[in-house]
Amino acid sequence: MSKIFLKDMIYRQARVVLTIIGITLLIALILFLGGIMNGMKIQARQYVESTGADIWISAEGSGGAFIGFSLLVPEYLAFLRHDKRLTADSVSPLVFAQARPIIRGKAGKAIVVGYKRDKHGGPRHAIEGRMFTPSEFEDYRPQDLPLAEVVVDEKMGLTIGERITIGGKELKVVGKTKSLMFVLDTPLLFMDIRTAQDVLLDNYLHVNMMIAKSKGNHNVSEIATDLNQRGSIEVRTLDQTLDDIIDTYVDEPMKAVTFLRVMLCLAAFILVTMITYVTTLEKTQEIGILKAIGASNHYVMLLILKQVALTSVIGVIFGLILSYLFAIFAPIFVKIDPVESAVVAAISFKACCAGGYLAGYRATLVDPMVAFRGEI
């Protein structure tokens, strides 16, 4: 049997190769699109989780931190620091906003994160160079600004001492941090909160949000609910903030991609099944002749399923390999889920086998004498 089905595959090698290519491309595309969304979700979470804060505060009506327009006055800091349910030294103001830095004469994309160096909100140490020179936020005067320094993402390719321009103001790169890209590989630029206020908020004291860490013996959800009832601010827990970010920056913008992916899955299932079905039906005459010389239905079905299984396994393996190659060489961060890969591979294999079985069953119903006379 082995020689027969291998010889038949070699004889029909063009159709076999086309079938394998079809399976490969469909699987690779489905997994790649899923990997883009997975990568966006990972990047959407990593900065927020890195801060260590579990309470996120924004202006009333903003819809939550990172979602809508939010400006807070620093007086809220004292109010929050007197809340005994929060760790006093964790309460920290943040400036977090998109920017178009001029880097080597070209406009780029980035997110500016302004925070107090000794508080939550950003890295405490640089992996190369040093951290920016801190300011005294509480005692500031508009004319008292720290040195215009910035710590950049290690993947931006900038060198220590290089200068970039944000909001018409020049900043010196003094250090690099471990990569903490935001959605779609948007790098984060860390600087003192006063510097961020100067380049983004025209030197006003306002901040976009405040964060804090609850004490271990208090329920975070209860704290958020209680603070919300005091008015003028919106308070979210860490989990709520992450849900808001993923919904706003990933799920909502990627609805079209999600729909396309569902359609591709349906198309892949139907196409793979039909390709296998049609390819097998082409062998109906040969199958009838085999039956005419004594082959049983069981033998014929095994012959067909072995061909289908081998073709689909090759296509699935190549599809998995190609999807991971796409992820490696993609210009954005792509994270392919191994579990999802296994599910897609299993469904594709079953679809191929289902198409082969249906066609094989139909082929076994052929009258051997009709096939022998070539009347099919």
> Which pLDDT tens digit goes with each residue over 19-32?
888 889 889 999 99
Judge whether residue 282 has pLDDT over 80. Answer: no
pLDDT band with cut points at 50, 70 and 90 for residue 330: very high
132 neighbors 189 (Cβ within 8 angstroms): no
Residue type, 205: L
How confident is the prediction for the chain on average, in pLDDT? 85
Angle between helices 338-364 and 255-281 (to 10 degrees): 30
Long-range contacts of 5-13, Cβ-Cβ distance < 8 Å, separation of 24 or more: 5/303, 5/306, 5/307, 5/310, 8/283, 8/286, 8/307, 9/307, 9/310, 9/311, 12/279, 12/282
Judge whether residue 140 has pLDDT over 70. Answer: no
Residue 294 makes CB contacts below 8 A (sequence gap 6+) with none
Judge whether residue 2 has pLDDT over 60. Answer: no
- What pLDDT is stored for residue 105 in this prediction? 92
Angle between helices 284-292 and 338-364 (to 10 degrees): 60
How far apart, in Å, are the Cα atoms of 122 and each of 56, 58, 89, 202? 14, 18, 14, 22
| Mean pLDDT, rounded, for 150-165 | 96
Q: Rounded distance, CA 350 to CA 338, Å?
A: 18
Q: Rounded distance, CA 5 to CA 156, Å?
A: 54
Q: Rounded distance, CA 136 to CA 193, Å?
A: 10
Neighbours of 333 (CB within 10 A): 18
Q: Rounded distance, CA 202 to CA 150, Å?
A: 17
96 neighbors 53 (Cβ within 8 angstroms): no
CA atoms within 13 A on the CB side of 130: 6
pLDDT band with cut points at 50, 70 and 90 for residue 41: very high
The torsion angle over the Cα atoms of residues 292, 297, 299 and 304, rounded to 10 degrees, is: 100
- What pLDDT is stored for residue 113 in this prediction? 96
Strand positions, DSSP E, 220-313 = 233-237
What's 251's DSSP letter? I
CA atoms within 13 A on the CB side of 226: 11
pLDDT tens, position by position, 229-243 = 877 889 999 999 999
Q: Rounded distance, CA 352 to CA 344, Å?
A: 12
| Parallel/antiparallel/unpaired status of strands 110-115 and 188-192 | parallel
Higher pLDDT, 290 or 330: 330
The closest alpha carbon to 345, from 88, 33, 66, 28, belongs to 28
| Mean pLDDT, rounded, for 208-224 | 91
- What pLDDT is stored for residue 117 in this prediction? 87
- What pLDDT is stored for residue 137 in this prediction? 56
Residue type, 102: I
